[in-house]
């Protein structure tokens, strides 16, 4: 078995190889290049962090949710959860950050209520709302790429387009298989500790002590397993050649450039619209 | 590339995978927690530096922190933020790695880890300052927030170093760490070249 086969059989989702557009076409955000989806909105995020009003981030958040709804191809339940979550986050943050606001700076606004010794000023709530909407907008831009891109796809795009050495990329993909291995190892260590009576006793303190006792053996077992895997990889000639082929490709096409430009145009458009409406 | 042996890569991958598993629940919890109770979120931020500190303290090789966090990001991408966790993890890894890069991987004393944690903590607070509009907060709240975050970074740096010491004692990664004799010999050879 070649190293390519080793890593490919351990790929978690077993996606089909894609040399061209996947089913779903241009309207499916999942077919776009992961680098564009993850790193494309970063300039918009940096701009958002510098804003202090409510309207600009609100427009950006709405635009991101709209794109996610139309092009995200999410299950309806996930989409509803995202929309409701954003709304709930907004409400909770308005109050929690409103309470954290320095009362001295908002004394000239109206006192709305007193909750358990805390005075709720309208100015404080306005500051809280701005922070809340800004955070929600940032979160939506993160989810735009996050919900439609798996970590493994991003790694593939990094090795294929961003010149990341493929040995590093494939080490990360192989590490995904360590996770089930850890849970097996944990069972073994737990059993061994129980047999030898390590950290016996009942109650929360004994439980914490027991759990803490698992950490070092688990890490040591994991690292030793990794060393055996590395021997197997070396024996099969992993990294012998400067370049390698990939079973799953992450193409960078014209539509990816269009998406990148439209991210920036969308951000600029929201800023201009907010300035016009103000 | 020569120092990037497969054994070193996979050892970092194992530490990264363990850190990634730890970060999956943290990814789920951190966003709602940061929103509803920023004070409860502040102590969590240190979780992101345990892995890189552990890898650097155990392996003492260039790139250990960045590699570990890269793998941790890939493994912890099984959360709603998806591939974004790679970016956030890498930021932490680069921050931890920078202090050792600046000292050209010559200094491995404890103080450098803690200075690194303090500087990185300060930068992190500064970035949160803009995002959370922290200049509008009450002074007492601010002080608590900053102290909790810094304390979290310092405590997790201590924990990472402790785990590395325990692992080294168990004989893990033996032969992977450049021994002190080798380092000294290398320095002598370099001095002779000058």
**Number of Cβ within a 10 Å radius of residue B20:** 31
- Rounded to two decimals, the pTM is 0.86
- Number of folded domains in chain A? 2
pLDDT-wise least confident of A29-33, A107-111, A124-128, B73-77 = A107-111
Which carries the bigger pLDDT value, residue A67 or residue B1?
A: A67
Q: pLDDT confidence of A12, banded at 50, 70, 90?
A: very low
pLDDT of residue B80: 80
Residues A110, A122, single domain; the answer is yes
Which sequence spans correspond to the domains of chain B? 6-193
Does residue A121 share a domain with residue A5? no
Average pLDDT, chain A: 86
* pLDDT top residue among A16 and A51: A51
More confident residue, B135 or A67: A67
User: How confident is the model at residue B27, as a pLDDT?
Assistant: 86
Q: Is the minimum CB–CB distance between B129 and chain A shorter than 8 Å?
A: no
Query: B170 to chain A: which residues are within 8 Å by CB?
Result: 216, 220
**For A43-57, what is each residue's pLDDT tens digit?**
999 999 888 889 999
Whether residues A7 and A65 fall in one domain: no
> Cβ–Cβ of B137/A101 closer than 8 Å?
yes
Name which residue leads in pLDDT, A11 or B32.
Answer: B32
- Closest Cβ–Cβ partner in A38, A96, A171 for B84: A38
In a domain, A169, yes or no: no
Residue A39 belongs to a domain: yes
Please give the average per-residue pLDDT across A263-274, as a whole number: 94
The answer to whether A257 contacts chain B (CB < 8 Å) is no
Residue in B74, B85, B87 closest to A176 by CB: B74
- CB spacing of A223 vs B167 below 8 angstroms: yes
A residues 33-52 near B, CB within 8 Å? Answer: 34, 37-39, 49-50, 52
CB contact under 8 A, A175 and B173: no
How distant is the Cα of B57 from the closest Cα of chain A, in angstroms? 14
Yes or no, beta carbons of A176 and B75 under 8 Å apart:
yes
The per-residue pLDDT for A19 is: 42
Which tens digit of pLDDT belongs to each residue from A165-189? Answer: 999 999 999 999 999 999 999 999 9
Residue A20 lies in a domain: no
Is A201 part of any domain? yes
H helix or E strand, kind and range, residue B123: helix B110-131
Domain check: are A257 and A234 in the same one?
no
pLDDT score of A20: 43
Question: What gap in Å lies between CA A39 and CA A45, rounded to an integer?
Answer: 10
Average pLDDT over residues B113-125: 92
Give the pLDDT confidence score for residue A4 in this predicted structure: 44
pLDDT of residue A7: 44
DSSP B143-192: HHHHHHHHHHHHHHHHHHHHHHHHHHHTTTTTTTSPPHHHHHHHHHHHHH
Same domain, A125 and A136: yes
Give the span between the Cα atoms of A234 and A167, in whole angstroms.
11
As a whole number of angstroms, the distance between CA A118 and CA B35 comes to 18
**Which ipTM was obtained for this model?**
0.87
Question: Considering chain B, what is the average pLDDT of its residues?
Answer: 86
Is any Cβ of chain B less than 8 angstroms from the Cβ of A178? yes
pLDDT in tens, B34-58: 777 778 888 899 999 999 999 999 9
Whether residue A272 is contained in a domain is answered as yes
Domain that holds residue A95: 32-161+252-277
Distance from CA of B167 to the nearest CA of A (A): 6
Choose among A92, A130, A220: nearest Cβ to B167.
A220
Is residue B10 pLDDT above 60, yes or no?
yes
Residue A213, chain B, CB below 8 Å: the answer is: no
Q: Which of A3-12, A218-227, A244-253, B135-144 has the lowest mean pLDDT?
A: A3-12
More confident residue, B44 or A6: B44
- For residues A81 and A124, membership in a common domain is answered with yes
Are A259 and A221 members of one domain?
no
Per-residue pLDDT at B28: 85
**pLDDT tens-digit series, residues A107-137:** 777 777 776 666 777 888 888 898 889 989 9
Listed range (A199-203, A259-263, B132-136, B143-147) with the worst mean pLDDT: B132-136
Q: Which of A37, A104, A230 minimises the CB distance to B10?
A: A230
Give yes or no for B188 touching A (CB within 8 A): no
Residues A93 and A146 in one domain: yes
Kindly state whether residue A168 falls inside one of the protein's structural domains. Answer: no
Reported confidence tier of residue A5, pLDDT bands at 50, 70, 90: very low
Say whether B17 and A182 touch across the interface (CB within 8 A). Answer: yes
Range name among A1-5, A243-247, B180-184 with the lowest pLDDT average: A1-5
> Which residue shows structure tokens 């053996």?
A217
* Statement to judge: residues A243 and A265 lie in one domain: no
Do residue A148 and residue A221 come from a single domain?
no
Q: What's the mean pLDDT in B82-110?
A: 92
Tell me the shortest Cα–Cα distance from B117 to chain A, in angstroms.
22
Distance, CA of B52 to CA of B161 (rounded, Å): 10
> Between chain A and chain B, how many beta carbons pairs sit less than 8 Å apart?
191
Q: Are B55 and A219 in contact (CB under 8 A)?
A: no
- Looking at the structure, do residues A47 and A152 belong to the same domain, yes or no? yes
- Do A257 and A227 lie in one domain? The reply is no
Residue A203 lies in a domain: yes
Which among A39, A84, A172 is the top mutation candidate for probing chain B, defined by the most B β-carbons within 10 Å of its own β-carbon? Answer: A172
Contacts of A64 (CB under 8 A, 6+ apart): A137, A140, A141, A143, A144
Q: What is the pLDDT of residue B128?
A: 78
């Amino acid at each position: 078995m070649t190293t390519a086969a080793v890593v490919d059989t351990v790929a978690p989702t077993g996606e089909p190889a894609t040399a061209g557009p996947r089913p779903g076409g241009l309207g499916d955000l999942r077919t776009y290049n992961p680098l564009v989806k993850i790193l494309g909105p970063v300039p918009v995020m940096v701009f958002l962090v510098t804003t202090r009003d409510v309207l600009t981030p609100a427009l950006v958040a709405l635009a991101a949710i709209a794109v996610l709804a139309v092009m995200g191809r999410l299950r309806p339940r996930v989409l509803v959860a995202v929309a409701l979550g954003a709304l709930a986050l907004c409400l909770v943050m308005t109050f929690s950050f409103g309470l954290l606001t320095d009362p001295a700076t908002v004394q000239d606004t109206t006192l709305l209520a007193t909750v358990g010794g805390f005075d709720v000023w309208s100015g404080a709530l306005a500051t809280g709302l701005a922070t809340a909407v800004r955070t929600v907008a940032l979160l939506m831009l993160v989810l735009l790429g996050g919900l439609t891109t798996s970590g493994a796809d991003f790694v593939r795009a990094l090795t294929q387009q961003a010149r990341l050495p493929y040995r590093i990329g494939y080490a990360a993909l192989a590490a995904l298989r360590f996770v089930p291995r850890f849970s097996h190892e944990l069972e073994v260590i737990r059993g061994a500790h129980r047999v030898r009576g390590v950290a016996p006793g009942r109650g929360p303190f004994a439980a914490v002590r027991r759990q803490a006792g698992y950490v070092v053996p688990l890490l040591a077992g994991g690292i030793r397993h990794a060393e055996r895997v590395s021997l197997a990889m070396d024996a099969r000639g992993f990294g012998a050649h400067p370049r390698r082929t990939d079973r799953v490709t992450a193409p960078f096409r014209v539509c990816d450039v269009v998406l990148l430009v439209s991210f920036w145009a969308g951000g600029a458009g929201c800023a201009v619209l907010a300035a016009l409406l103000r | 590339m020569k120092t990037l042996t497969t054994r070193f890569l996979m050892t970092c991958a194992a530490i990264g995978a363990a850190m990634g598993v730890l970060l999956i629940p943290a990814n789920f919890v951190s966003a709602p927690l940061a929103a509803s109770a920023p004070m409860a979120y502040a102590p969590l931020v240190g979780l992101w530096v345990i892995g890189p500190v552990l890898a650097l303290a155990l392996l003492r090789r260039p790139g250990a922190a960045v590699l570990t966090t890269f793998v941790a990001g890939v493994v912890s991408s099984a959360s709603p933020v998806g591939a974004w966790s790679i970016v956030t993890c890498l930021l932490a890894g680069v921050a931890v790695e920078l202090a050792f890069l600046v000292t050209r991987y010559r200094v491995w004393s404890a103080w450098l880890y803690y200075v690194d944690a303090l500087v990185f903590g300060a930068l992190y607070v500064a970035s949160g300052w803009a995002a959370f509009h922290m200049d509008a907060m009450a002074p007492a709240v601010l002080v608590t927030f900053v102290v909790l975050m810094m304390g979290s970074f310092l405590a997790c740096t201590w924990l990472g170093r402790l785990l590395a010491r325990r692992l080294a004692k168990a004989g893990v990664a033996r032969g992977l760490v450049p021994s002190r004799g080798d380092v000294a010999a290398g320095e002598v050879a370099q001095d002779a070249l000058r």
